[in-house]
Chain A
């Protein structure tokens, strides 16, 4: 480049080096370089690590040992089971609530949407450390506010955080509290993209609002809903902050998620080989599930 004259250089940029054919590579280059250095390299390194075990401070190649160990590890299955329960129960509840709020917020009857949007979005941007302390206190079985209110309407006290079943319920509540607004915002954007004349035509034909919702809103929103589903699937498999701060994965591993288990193996027990193996099993699960979700939507 140094011996190219200025004039030549400018034509080079205009017509030579950066042509409509080469331009995309130019545009993609910075992202690609950063991606290779800070994402691909760590991924390959940790992938290689998943075939190694550490003994006495030295990593040695051990083939598929970590993966084989994984499939006979009862705690891994428990964590996987918990993750699937969350996926099957929490994600639909959250997306349903998010959709409901989005439809309400999209209503023409409203004139102060901004206030609501900010309120609902706020939990998603808060660090969970302090919020979880509040939830732990609210849900305490003996003197928490929630049981206090329940007992005043005659419902027996619930061991929110110390019973395996209710601890899962608590985790679902907190996760839903945190992420509903986030999904609502995305769905709201999708709603605003639906052409108004579709509704007007339906109204003229005398379709009720509920009928309109199922026959116009849902089909039109399908790609956005799919998008939210895929994001939430990824989010559920990577769920860590919430159980870490709320229940520490307990009681008796009832709220141990798969990524939490990965974290424990790596950062508490220093077995980064095993932790990496878990990570790649997670990736396979997410990939399969995302693919399935796409397929279901396409076939429909």
Chain B
């Protein structure tokens, strides 16, 4: 009996090896020539789209009806999936050779490169199908981040996260602070001292390394240089660290722990400002309707008088996994969902998703006064900053480094670590985690 068992075991292991090799050897992808038929009605078939929350609602309820009028023979199923879950499923799918993936998937900008670094053939090259012709319709900072190493667009830009300082009008008035006078981060800190002295609360909250990234990108710098080397302890990084240190020394900044904490801090008046992206408006309208009329925005303070007052935080794109069986239909859907101006406007009005398609900024909705935001043209103010947003390199190792810096920010805000040490230690850890080199 023992012999039989042994033999069975050996046979089994051989089988395992065979199967393992069989699955792992991914078939070399033929470079396929895709041509889009002239007549929209000639394109047919079923496609599946994965997206989360607001974007999923946008694609299903705003895009689909208009899309169907032009492409009546394409059946689109939009699957609503949670954001973490989209990535878990995509990771599993790509790691096992592409099975079970949809035809179109929503991906955040800062994730695109980590997918393409690890899985070079993960997504379809959109430039090859003709997406290049749309390139200059988008904010440069956005579309640059969606190209692969050869300059091909691999995901179509959807929403953008231009950053400004969202602030409480009523609290500023009571504290006697004039937001139009805040031009630099030093001004911002002075204003913060006044407000905090008045309210006894905080001036701003942060739940991770978002603010650091915003400040670095504002100066045209990032965790990586253009070649992908680590560049955390750059001059720009140190400028940001100096400001963060001052915010902390003056008790202006509180650690809000996570998304819910950040929302609650705003809702409960614990913070008077939020240097954040325009997409906060959606959450604010939904979760804090009682604060209508009390919020407005001013541009991000500059590091020096006259320098850049724009940055970006977040935003996502639509990509077509290489394993899609119906790339033509997937492409025309992606193209429509990202370049149709009417749809972009619906995304903004119905979902609070700010389009990366700059042509849309001419539409009247942008110049309209928003009741919730102090009767000011809130969206126009953000749109005006878009052309100044510096493009930076979201490297494939972005997630590892963000995870390191997130921990370092926590050590800085909660454990008395100095901001400069935070950069230094963060860079060392990032080297250890990613095996990357640093700039000189």
Q: Which residues of A contact B (CB under 8 A)?
A: 36, 40-41, 44-45, 48, 54, 56-57, 59, 73-75, 133, 136-137, 140, 142-143, 159, 161-164, 248, 250-253, 264, 266-270, 272
**Is B399 an interface residue when CB atoms closer than 8 A count as contact?**
yes
User: How many Å from the CB of A160 to the closest CB on chain B?
Assistant: 9
Q: A36-B12, A270-B118 are contacts. A140–B87 as well, Cβ < 8 Å?
A: no
What B residues does A164 contact at CB under 8 A?
414-415
Whether the pair A75, B433 counts as a contact (CB closer than 8 A) is: yes
What A residues does B226 contact at CB under 8 A?
none
Q: A136-B258, A264-B403 are contacts. A45–B20 as well, Cβ < 8 Å?
A: yes
What B residues does A41 contact at CB under 8 A?
16, 19
Among B16, B258, B400, B414, contact of A248 (Cβ-Cβ < 8 Å): B258
The interface centre, meaning the residue of B19, B117, B121, B414 with most chain A CB atoms within 10 A of its CB, is: B414
Among B88, B264, B411, B432, contact of A143 (Cβ-Cβ < 8 Å): B264
What B residues does A73 contact at CB under 8 A?
432
Among A40, A59, A269, contact of B24 (Cβ-Cβ < 8 Å): A59
**24 A-B pairs in the complex with CB atoms less than 8 angstroms apart:** A45-B16, A57-B121, A59-B24, A74-B432, A75-B433, A136-B257, A136-B260, A140-B264, A143-B264, A143-B268, A159-B414, A162-B257, A163-B414, A164-B414, A164-B415, A250-B406, A250-B407, A252-B407, A252-B411, A252-B415, A268-B403, A269-B399, A270-B95, A270-B119
Whether the pair B118, A57 counts as a contact (CB closer than 8 A) is: yes
In the complex, per-residue mask of B356-376: 1 if CB is within 8 Å of any chain A CB, else 0:
000000000000000000000
**Is B408 an interface residue when CB atoms closer than 8 A count as contact?**
yes
Kindly state the interface size class of chain B when it binds its partner: 35 or more
Q: A143-B264, A252-B408 are contacts. A267–B24 as well, Cβ < 8 Å?
A: no
What B residues does A162 contact at CB under 8 A?
255, 257, 410, 414
A140 to B267, CA, bound (A): 14
User: How many Å from the CB of B321 to the closest CB on chain A?
Assistant: 14
With both beta carbons as reference points, the residue of chain A lying nearest to B254 in the complex is identified as A142
In the complex, per-residue mask of B248-272: 1 if CB is within 8 Å of any chain A CB, else 0:
0000000101101100110010100
What B residues does A137 contact at CB under 8 A?
260, 264
Whether the pair A253, B95 counts as a contact (CB closer than 8 A) is: no
What B residues does A267 contact at CB under 8 A?
87-88, 91-92
Interface of B is mostly: helix
What A residues does B24 contact at CB under 8 A?
59
Q: Which residues of B contact A (CB under 8 A)?
A: 12-13, 16, 19-20, 24, 87-88, 91-92, 94-95, 114, 117-121, 255, 257-258, 260-261, 264-265, 268, 270, 399-400, 403, 406-408, 410-411, 414-415, 429, 432-433
What A residues does B408 contact at CB under 8 A?
252
User: How many Å from the CB of A47 to the closest CB on chain B?
Assistant: 10
With both beta carbons as reference points, the residue of chain B lying nearest to A32 in the complex is identified as B8
Whether the pair B13, A269 counts as a contact (CB closer than 8 A) is: no
User: How many Å from the CB of A54 to the closest CB on chain B?
Assistant: 7
User: How many Å from the CB of A296 to the closest CB on chain B?
Assistant: 33
User: How many Å from the CB of A49 to the closest CB on chain B?
Assistant: 9
A137 to B411, CA, bound (A): 22
With both beta carbons as reference points, the residue of chain A lying nearest to B265 in the complex is identified as A142
4 shortest A-B CB distances, which residue pairs?
A251-B410, A252-B410, A270-B118, A252-B411
Among A48, A74, A250, contact of B429 (Cβ-Cβ < 8 Å): A74
User: How many Å from the CB of A245 to the closest CB on chain B?
Assistant: 10
What A residues does B258 contact at CB under 8 A?
136, 248
What B residues does A248 contact at CB under 8 A?
258
User: How many Å from the CB of A180 to the closest CB on chain B?
Assistant: 26
User: How many Å from the CB of A277 to the closest CB on chain B?
Assistant: 15
User: How many Å from the CB of B185 to the closest CB on chain A?
Assistant: 24
Whether the pair A142, B270 counts as a contact (CB closer than 8 A) is: yes
User: How many Å from the CB of B167 to the closest CB on chain A?
Assistant: 20
What A residues does B265 contact at CB under 8 A?
142
With both beta carbons as reference points, the residue of chain A lying nearest to B95 in the complex is identified as A272
User: How many Å from the CB of A140 to the closest CB on chain B?
Assistant: 7
A253 to B407, CA, bound (A): 6
With both beta carbons as reference points, the residue of chain A lying nearest to B117 in the complex is identified as A56
Whether the pair B120, A56 counts as a contact (CB closer than 8 A) is: yes
Whether the pair B13, A136 counts as a contact (CB closer than 8 A) is: no
Whether the pair A250, B410 counts as a contact (CB closer than 8 A) is: yes
What A residues does B403 contact at CB under 8 A?
264, 268
What A residues does B410 contact at CB under 8 A?
162, 250-252
With both beta carbons as reference points, the residue of chain A lying nearest to B256 in the complex is identified as A162
With both beta carbons as reference points, the residue of chain A lying nearest to B400 in the complex is identified as A269
What A residues does B13 contact at CB under 8 A?
44
Whether the pair A268, B399 counts as a contact (CB closer than 8 A) is: yes
Q: A74-B429, A269-B399 are contacts. A251–B255 as well, Cβ < 8 Å?
A: yes
Whether the pair B114, A57 counts as a contact (CB closer than 8 A) is: no
Whether the pair A57, B415 counts as a contact (CB closer than 8 A) is: no
With both beta carbons as reference points, the residue of chain A lying nearest to B12 in the complex is identified as A36
What A residues does B264 contact at CB under 8 A?
137, 140, 143
What B residues does A142 contact at CB under 8 A?
265, 268, 270
What B residues does A143 contact at CB under 8 A?
264, 268, 270
What A residues does B270 contact at CB under 8 A?
142-143
A162 to B260, CA, bound (A): 13
With both beta carbons as reference points, the residue of chain B lying nearest to A254 in the complex is identified as B410
What A residues does B257 contact at CB under 8 A?
136, 140, 161-162, 250-251
With both beta carbons as reference points, the residue of chain B lying nearest to A263 in the complex is identified as B88
Among A48, A59, A140, A268, contact of B261 (Cβ-Cβ < 8 Å): A140
What B residues does A54 contact at CB under 8 A?
118
Could you list 14 further interchain pairs (A-B, Cβ under 8 angstroms) beyond the known A59-B24, A268-B403, A270-B95?
A: A45-B16, A45-B20, A48-B20, A56-B117, A56-B120, A75-B429, A140-B257, A159-B414, A162-B257, A162-B410, A251-B257, A252-B410, A252-B415, A267-B91
Among B94, B114, B414, contact of A251 (Cβ-Cβ < 8 Å): B414
A56 to B26, CA, bound (A): 13
The interface centre, meaning the residue of B261, B408, B429 with most chain A CB atoms within 10 A of its CB, is: B261
What B residues does A264 contact at CB under 8 A?
403
Whether the pair A133, B95 counts as a contact (CB closer than 8 A) is: no
